[in-house]
Structure 1
Amino acid sequence: MKPLTKNMFREIKQSKGRFIAIILIIMLGVLIFVGVKAAGPSLNDSLNKTVTGKHLSDVQMISSSGFTQKDIKLAESVSGAKAETAYYKQVVGGKDQVAVSLYGYDKSSKQNQLIIRSGRLPRHQNEIVLDQAAKLNYHYKLGQNFSFAKSANLKSASYKIVGFVSSPQYIDSQARGSSNVGDGTVRMFAYLYPEQMKMPFATQMNVRFNSLQSKNTFNDSYKDAVDDKLSALKKAFKGRAKVRSNEVFGASLKQVQSQQAQLDQAKAQLEAAKFAGADVSAQEATLKEQQQQLTDASDKLSKQATSSYTWQTRDDLPGFSAFGESSDRIAAIANVFPVFFFLIAALITFTTITRMIEEARGQIGTFKALGYTKWEIAKNYFYYALTAGLIGTILGAVIGNESLPRIVLALYKQYIPLNWDVKFQWGIILLSLLFALISTVGAAMFVVRQELSEGPAALMRPKAPKSAKKILMERIKPLWNHLSFNQKVSYRNLFRFKSRMLMTIIGIAGGTALILTGFGIQNSIGASGTQQYDKIFDYQAVVRLSGNNPDRALKVLESDKQYNRNVQINATTGNVSANGEKVDDVNFYTPEDKTFSKYVELKDLSGKRLNLSNDGVIVTKKMASILGVEKGDTIKVAKSNGDGGDIKVAGVTQNYVGHYMYLNKYTYTKIFGDAPKTNTLLVNLKSQTTKHRNHLANKLLKSGGVMGTSYTYDQQSMISKMTTALNPIVWIFILLSGVLSFVVLYNLTNINVSERIRELSTIKVLGFYNNEVTMYIVRENIILTILGIAVGYGVGNLLTTYILHQASTELVVFPLTISLMGYITATILMIVFTIIVMSITHQRLKHIDMIGALKSTE
C-alpha cells in the first residue's frame, strides 16, 4: 500500500469520531430528504395499486329510472369501456336507525370488489355483509342480526351479519357521503342479495376503461383522460333520459291521462244532471275526492317520470380527494422542510471537511516536499471525502426510502388496507447524492487546492493565529471593567473567530427551527378548525329547509333541550370570478336580520369589525387572494342557475375553511333580480353528543320541513383527521431534527476543541483546574446556544409560515400557530444536547496530552 493511502486509512482510524460524524450528518440529511420526498408518491402509488387491484370503476352513473342492457351497450359504445349495473339505494337501518348505502351483492361482478376484513361474503338470501365502520363505530359482531326500517322496503326486516368488509368506493374509514334519509349523512354501507331489495331495475352503472388502468389515478394524465371519457359518455347518453322516461313511465302516464278523461266525462254528466234539477251532492263529493287522488298521483308520477343521471368520477367518491390532498400536503412539506434540513447538514459537513484538511497542513507540506504531485496528494482527501459522502448517501437513501414511507403507510389507519407500493425515488436519490458530494468532495477539493498553492515550508508550519483586535464590548468601559478575566477571554474568542461563531449559531438555530417547525405544522393544521368553528362561526348546525317556511323546523328545535337560538338566512351556492380567475362552490349567505353578527364574526385582516351594507359584498380572504381582489374592486357573481352580475367588494374577512360571500337583502336583490327567501337556519346549540346530533337530525328530517342537517362538528372532525394523518410525518421530523442537532453540536464542539488544543493545554499548564478548563469552552457554547435558540425561534416561524403556505389547499388555510409547548420542547432539547456534549467534552479535556500539544512543530 502506498504511503499516501496508508496515511489516509491511518487518518480515518485515528479520527473515527469525525469520520463517523460526517457519515451520520450526510446520512441524516439524505434520509429525511429522500424519505419524506418518497412518502407522498408512495401513498398515492399504494392507493392506486389497491383500487386498481380491486377494479374500482373510473366513472359511476346513478339513474332515477334505472338501467337496462340498452344502457350497458350505450356505455360500451365508448372506446374501451366495460360497464356493469348494480342495485343501489339509501335506506335507514341498524339499532341507531342511521342512513345506510345498500348495494346488491353480485359475486360475478368484476368492478368495485370488496376487501374482506373479517368473516366472509354472503352465500344465502338471509345474509348480509357490513362496512368495517359498522364494527368499529357501532360495535356490531359476526352472527348478530342487522335490522332495517319498514321504509327500506326489503323482503325481510333483518339479516344475519356474516362479514365485515372495506370497499374501494369508500377509502376513508369515516366518510360515507350525504343522504336524503336518516339524519342526512350516510354512516355505513352494506351488501345483500339484490333479490331482497325489491327493486324493479338497477340504479347504478359502473364504467371502467382498460386503457386508464396503467395510469396513476392521482396524476394529471389520468384525470385528463377520465374527463375525456366522461365527455364521451355524456355525449353517448344525450337524449337517453327522455327515451328512458317514456320506457318506464309512458304506460303509467297514458293510464293517468285516460283516468282524467273519464273523470272529466263524469263531471260533464254530473253538471247536466244538476242542470236538470237532480240532487247530485253525494256524487259531487265523490268526484272531488277522486280528482284530488288523481292529482296527487299525477304530481308524484310527473316527478318520477323525468329521468335524470348523476355522474361521478373517482375524485367525487367519499374520502378520495381528501386522501389526495393529504399526500399533496406531505409533498408540499417535503419541498421545504427536508431541503432546509439537508442544507444545514451539508453546511456542517462542509465545515468539518474544511477543518480536517486545514489540520493536515503539515502532512500535505511533508508529502509535497517528498516530491508527490498535487493530484497524488489531493486524491487521498478526495477519496476520504468521497467515501464518507457515498456511505452516508447510500445509508440515508436506503433507510429513508424504505422506512419513512412504510411508517407513514402503516400509520394511515383511517383508510382501507393499502397494498404497499414503495418505489425507489431515483431522481431524488441522485439529487441528494449530488448535494452530498458537493458538501464533502467539493469542500475537500476547494480547501486542498488552496493549501497546495503554498510551498512545503509554509505548509509544514502551523497557520499563524489571527491577530487580536478590540471588540465592541471593550469600548464600553463600565461593562468591560466589571467582567472577570475568564469572561473577557470568552468574549474575545467569540468575536475573534467569527466563522466558528457563525457556524455554531447556524447549527443550533437550524436544529431549533426544525424542531419548532415540526410542532408548528402540527399545531397550525389543527388550528384552522379551532379558529373557524370556535372564533368565526358561533353556530353548531346548518338546517336546510325543504321550503321557505321554517315553522316545522323551529317547532322541532324549540322542543329540544340543547337548542339555544337560531338565525334565518338565505343560503345558496355559486361561483365568483375576477381578473381571469374563478372560484367555484362559494357559499352565499344573506341574513334575515342583524342578529347574524352573533353567528358569524366578520372582521377585516386588521381585526376591525365589518358590517353588511348596500355598498357591496364581503368576501373571504382565500377567495380574494385567488381572485387577486381587495376592497373596492369589482367581481362577477353567479348562482348555480346562472343568475348574477357584477358587484363591488365592500370588505375582505378572515376565514380558514371554505369560501363564503356575505351580502344583505338589498345587495342580493340588486345582483340576482329577486328578493332572497329564507331556506336555511344557522342554529346555536348547547353541548351535544353524537347520539343527540343523530337524533335531532332525524327528527328534523321527519318533520317534513327539512331537507337535511349538517353539523360543524363533522367539519372539525375532518380537519382533526388531517392533523392526525400528518402526525407521523411531524414526529419523524422532530425526532430526526433532534438527532441532527445533537450530531451537529457535537461535531462543532469537537472542531472547536481541536482548533484550540494548544490554547487549552497552555491554560491547563498555567494551573487551571479541569472544571475551569471546561468552562473556558462551555461559557462560549452557552452564549452561542442562547443566541442560536433565539435565532431559531425566528427562523422556525418563517419556515413554518412558508410550509403552511405551500400546504394550504383551495378550501383550507392554515393559520401560523406554534404552541408554547413547541418552544419549550425545542429549547429544552437544545439545552440538554448542549449539556450532554459539554459532559463528553469535559471528559476529553481531562485527558489532554499537554506535552504533545505544546511541543514545537518547527
Structure 2
Amino acid sequence: MKFLLRKLIRTVLKNWQQFFSVLLMAFLSVLFYTGLEGTWNGMQQSINQYTRESNLADSWVQTTGITNHEFQQIKRLPSVKSVSKTTEISVKAKVDHQVRYVNLSTANASGISKPNLNGNKINQYANGVYLNKEFAQSNHLKKGDFLTFHYQNRKVKLRVVNVMQSPEKMYYTGSADFLSPQRRNYGYGIISQKSLNEKFRYLGPATNLALKNHQTKNTERQIRRILGSKFITLSTRESDPEIATAIDRVTQIRNLSILFSAIFILLSILAMYTTIKRLIDSQQSDIAALRALGYSNRTLTLYYSLYGLVIGVIGTAFGWLMAPILSNFVLKSQEKMFSLPNWQISYTTNSLFVAVLVIAICGFSAMIASRSQQHLSPAEALKGNSSRKSKKIFLESWQRLWHKLPIGNRWAWRDSLGNPVRMLMGIVGVVGGLALIMTGFGTKDSMTHQVNENFGHEFTYTRQLDLNSQNSARTNQRLIQQTHGQALSTLSAAVLPRGRFDRPLTIVCKGKFVHLKTLSHHKVQNGGIYVTQGIAKTAHIKVGDQLQIKPSLTTKSADFKVKGILKSSAVQGLYLTRRTWENHHFKFVPNKILIGKTAQLKSLMADSAVSKIVSMKAQRINAQRMVENLNSIFLLIQAFGILLAVIILYNLGSLSFTERSRNYATFRILGFQRSEIRSLTTSENVAITILGWCLGVPFGFWFLAKYITTFSTNQIVYYPILSMPNLLIATLITVVSSLSTVLLVGRRLKELNMIAATKGVE
C-alpha cells in the first residue's frame, strides 16, 4: 500500500492543475454556504438572545390616548398575559446648528421590552434622558452632555443620563418616509413621567401599549371595541418594520446561501465527477499494470477513491477555515443598518452535512470512475481505449458542407461531438456562470430601479410636508393653497377578510405629483380601492373582489370594490381617491402635502402647522444607502459566478489538452502551425460559448426573477430588472472566461514534448 500512496502523491503532483480545480470547487462549495450560514445564523442567534433577555413584546397598539379604565379592560383580556403603557411625543433638537428629530417615550416598570444598558437598569425617576446609542454616537453626544429639545414652542434642556438600545427598534429609520436608518438625523429616547409632565407640560393620557399576548387577531378585535375611535393601529413582530426588517434580513441571507449553494454545488458535482472520472480514465494503462502485478479490484477501488477523498477533504477543510472570514465580512456590512447589542457568527450542523456531501461526491466519483475500468482485461486495457468511435452525426444534406470544411476543423468538431460529456460540461459552465453573474448585477439593478421608480416616476414631488395633527381644517387648506400642493391622508386600516395585519391606507387628492398605475396601465380613479401587487399576492386579492376596510381613528367600516392592482415599487398599501373616500361617508383629514419647487421654504420651516419637511432627494439618497448596504452580497454573487465559469472552463481546457496532446503533436509533425492548432480550439470554444450564452440568458433572467423575490418584504416588492450595459458586461466576463482556455492551449503547446506525446502501447 505504501507504493500506491507514493504513486498517488506523484499522480497528484503531475496533474496538479486538474486536481487543483477539483479542490477549488470543493473549497468554494463549502465556503459559500458555510460563510453565509455563519452570518444569517449568527444574526438569528443575536436577535433571539436579545428578544429573550429584553422580554420583547409580541404586539403593540398605538392610540390617541387611553384611560386607566380602558387599560384595565385590555389587561383583563384572556389572550393578554401582560401589558404596559407608555406615552410618546415627537420633539426637535438642534445639534451643530442642524435640526434633529427625536421620539421621547416614558419609562415603564412592567419588564416588557427592557432597553439594553450594558447590564444597567433604567431609572424611572431620572431627571434626564436616555438616548439611543446610534443617535448619540452619530452626533458625538455622550453621558453627561446636555441637549435642548423643542416641543410646542417650549424649550427643555435635559442631561444625557446614559445611552441605550431598545429591542423594539432594531431597524430604526425614525420616519416612515425613509427606508433605511437615518442615525444622525433621527433618534429616540426615554424620559421619566415626571419630566414629561413638568418640563414638557404634557398632561394627556398614555398613547402606546406593549403586549405579551397570543391569538393576535382576536386581541385586535377586542382592543378595537374597547378603544373605539382612539385606536390607530396594532402591529406585531411580523408587521412592525423596526423588527420585521431585521428578521427578514436573516431570511434573505439564508435564502441566498441555500439558493446559490444549491446551484453552485450542482455545477460542482458535474465538474468534480467528470474531472475525476477522466483523470482516472487517462490512467487506464496504469490500472491494467497494477492488476497484472496482482492488485485486486477492491484494493484498486479503494486506492482510486483516495483521489477524490483526499482532494475533497483538503478543499472542505480550507473552506471551513476561510468561512469565518466571509461570515464576518458580510456581518460587518449589516452592523451599519441594525441595532443589536451583540453581533456574533454561528454555525449549524447543516454546514457539516454540506462538507460531508462534497467529500462524498469526490470520493464516490473516483470510485465509480475506477470501477468502470475493471471489466477490461490487463491486455485489453494496455492497448488503450479504442472502443469509442465517432458517430455519424450529419444528415446526407449536410455532408457536402461538411466536406468543404478544412480537415483540422472537421477533426475538432468530430472529436468534440464524440465527447458529449465534455461539451455538456462546457455549456453548463457558461450557463451557470452567466446566470450567477447576471443575478449579481440584476439584483442591484432591480433594487436601484425600485428607488428610481418610487422617487421620480411614481411620485414626482420635490418636498413633502408633514402636518401637525392639531391643525384645523382651515389651517390645512391654507397650506394647500399657499404651496399649490397635493394633499394626502395616510392612515392604518384593517383589511377583511384576508388581511393578516393593518396596512397603510392612502387617500389621494387631485394633483400632479402621484402617478401610480395598475398592471393594465390605468391611473388611480374614482369608484373603488386600489391594492398594490405585493399585498394582492399575499392576500390573494383580485380585481372585482369586495374588501371590508376598517380605518383607524373611527369606529366605522365600509366595503370597497377592488378596481385595480397597482404595480408599485412604493411601500405596499391601499390607495383610493378623496371622492371615493368621502362617498363612503368618511371625513378627509390631510396629514401630508406634496409640493414642487417653492421659494417659500424658509417660511414653511418656520410655520408651526408643519411638523417636518422631507425632500425627495434625501429620501432617494436614503433608499440608495440601503441598496449599497447589500453591495457586499452582490459582489459575492458576481465573484462566485466568475470563479465558477473560469474554473469549469479552465478545467475543461486543461483536460481537453491532456486528452488531445497526442493529436496536437501529430498535427505539429504533419506541419500545422501553433496558431492553426490554437484556432481549432478557438472555434470549439466559440461554439460552446455561443450555445451556452443562448441558454444562459433566458435561464439567468428566470433565476434572477426567482431570486429577487427573496428580498421582497411586507413593505417593499422588487421587480426583476437587468440593464443592457450590465447584461453586456456579464456577457463580456463570461466570454473572456470561456476564451481564456485558448491562452492555456497556446502556452502548453509551446511546452509540448512531441516525442513523448506520440508514444503509445502497440
CA distance in 2, matches of 1:573, 1:236: 17
CA distance in 2, matches of 1:588, 1:778: 60
Out of 499, 509, 519, the residue aligned to residue 421 of structure 2 is 499
CA distance in 1, matches of 2:480, 2:304: 80
Out of 500, 503, 510, the residue aligned to residue 432 of structure 2 is 510
CA distance in 2, matches of 1:729, 1:368: 51
Distance 1:566 1:493, change over 3 A: farther
Distance 1:824 1:144, change over 3 A: farther
Deviation, 1:365, is 2.2
Deviation, 1:135, is 5.1
CA distance in 2, matches of 1:526, 1:492: 47
Deviation, 1:628, is 3.4
1:404 counterpart = 2:326 = yes
Distance 1:715 1:40, change over 3 A: farther
Match of 1:187 in 2: 186
Does the CA-based 8 Å contact 2:487-2:508 persist in structure 1?
yes
Distance 1:390 1:835, change over 3 A: same
CA distance in 2, matches of 1:651, 1:64: 32
Deviation, 1:786, is 3.7
SS in 2 for 1:535: coil
1:638 counterpart = 2:560 = no
Out of 566, 569, 572, the residue aligned to residue 485 of structure 2 is 566
Out of 598, 617, 622, the residue aligned to residue 534 of structure 2 is 622
Q: Deviations over 1:527-555 (max 9, x none)?
A: 22322332233345375685997552343
Does the CA-based 8 Å contact 1:148-1:158 persist in structure 2?
yes
CA distance in 2, matches of 1:750, 1:35: 29
Instruction: Give the AA of the match of 1:27.
Output: F
Deviation, 1:493, is 3.5
1:604 counterpart = 2:523 = no
Does the CA-based 8 Å contact 2:239-2:714 persist in structure 1?
no
Distance 1:472 1:237, change over 3 A: closer
SS in 1 for 2:493: strand
Deviation, 1:799, is 0.9
1:385 counterpart = 2:308 = yes
CA distance in 2, matches of 1:792, 1:629: 34
Bigger shift: residues 6-15 or 543-552: 543-552
CA distance in 2, matches of 1:176, 1:655: 20
Does the CA-based 8 Å contact 2:234-2:501 persist in structure 1?
no
Does the CA-based 8 Å contact 2:504-2:573 persist in structure 1?
yes
Q: Deviations over 1:562-613 (max 9, x none)?
A: x5x43456665534457xx4364445555555x57x62232434xx435736
Match of 1:447 in 2: 369
Match of 1:323 in 2: 246
SS in 2 for 1:755: helix
Match of 2:257 in 1: 334
Q: Name structure 1 gaps, 5 residues minimum.
A: 180-184, 209-225, 243-302
CA distance in 2, matches of 1:234, 1:623: 20
SS in 2 for 1:656: coil
Does the CA-based 8 Å contact 2:267-2:429 persist in structure 1?
yes
CA distance in 2, matches of 1:3, 1:729: 47
SS in 1 for 2:485: strand
Match of 1:521 in 2: 443
Does the CA-based 8 Å contact 2:429-2:644 persist in structure 1?
no
1:788 counterpart = 2:692 = yes
Q: Deviations over 1:169-192 (max 9, x none)?
A: 43336436799xxxxx99222456
Distance 1:709 1:546, change over 3 A: farther
Distance 1:415 1:205, change over 3 A: same
Distance 1:193 1:647, change over 3 A: closer
Does the CA-based 8 Å contact 2:416-2:423 persist in structure 1?
yes
Distance 1:696 1:315, change over 3 A: farther
CA distance in 2, matches of 1:77, 1:660: 30
Structure index of larger Rg: 1
CA distance in 2, matches of 1:457, 1:187: 82
Match of 2:337 in 1: 414
Matches within 5 A, 1:83-482: 89-94=89-94, 95-102=97-104, 112-115=114-117, 130-134=131-135, 145-149=146-150, 151=152, 157-159=156-158, 166-172=165-171, 174-175=173-174, 187-190=186-189, 196-199=195-198, 226-228=212-214, 319-400=242-323, 402-412=324-334, 413-416=336-339, 418-434=341-357, 436-464=358-386, 466-469=388-391, 472=394, 475-476=397-398
Normalising by structure 2, what TM-score? 0.82
Out of 643, 650, 653, the residue aligned to residue 566 of structure 2 is 653
Does the CA-based 8 Å contact 1:589-1:660 persist in structure 2?
yes
CA distance in 2, matches of 1:483, 1:577: 71
Matches within 5 A, 1:729-744: 729-744=633-648
CA distance in 2, matches of 1:665, 1:108: 42
Does the CA-based 8 Å contact 1:474-1:480 persist in structure 2?
no
Distance 1:552 1:816, change over 3 A: same
Q: Deviations over 1:711-762 (max 9, x none)?
A: 7667656643442332222212222322232222221111111111211111
Q: Name structure 2 gaps, 5 residues minimum.
A: 179-183
Deviation, 1:321, is 1.7
Does the CA-based 8 Å contact 1:524-1:817 persist in structure 2?
yes
Instruction: Give the AA of the match of 2:682.
Output: V
Identity percentage of aligned residues = 21
Distance 1:626 1:79, change over 3 A: closer
Q: Deviations over 1:335-388 (max 9, x none)?
A: 322211221112111110111121122222223333433212111112221222
SS in 2 for 1:730: helix
CA distance in 1, matches of 2:224, 2:536: 38
CA distance in 2, matches of 1:439, 1:361: 22
CA distance in 2, matches of 1:36, 1:680: 43
Deviation, 1:650, is 3.9
Out of 736, 742, 746, the residue aligned to residue 838 of structure 1 is 742
Deviation, 1:112, is 3.5
Matches within 5 A, 1:658-669: 658-663=571-576
The alignment's C-alpha RMSD in Å is: 4.9
Instruction: Give the AA of the match of 2:339.
Output: I
Deviation, 1:28, is 0.5
Deviation, 1:506, is 0.9
Deviation, 1:667, is 5.8
CA distance in 2, matches of 1:63, 1:638: 18
Distance 1:786 1:550, change over 3 A: farther
CA distance in 1, matches of 2:550, 2:81: 35
Distance 1:474 1:730, change over 3 A: farther
Does the CA-based 8 Å contact 1:326-1:725 persist in structure 2?
no
Match of 2:16 in 1: 16
Match of 1:217 in 2: none
SS in 2 for 1:452: coil
Does the CA-based 8 Å contact 1:636-1:644 persist in structure 2?
no
Distance 1:797 1:474, change over 3 A: farther
Match of 2:675 in 1: 771
Match of 2:657 in 1: 753
Bigger shift: residues 341-350 or 782-791: 782-791
CA distance in 2, matches of 1:55, 1:479: 78
Instruction: Give the AA of the match of 1:101.
Output: N
Bigger shift: residues 387-396 or 828-837: 828-837
Does the CA-based 8 Å contact 2:129-2:189 persist in structure 1?
yes
Q: Deviations over 1:505-528 (max 9, x none)?
A: 111221121111111112212322
Distance 1:568 1:13, change over 3 A: closer
Matches within 5 A, 1:706-721: 716=620, 719-721=623-625
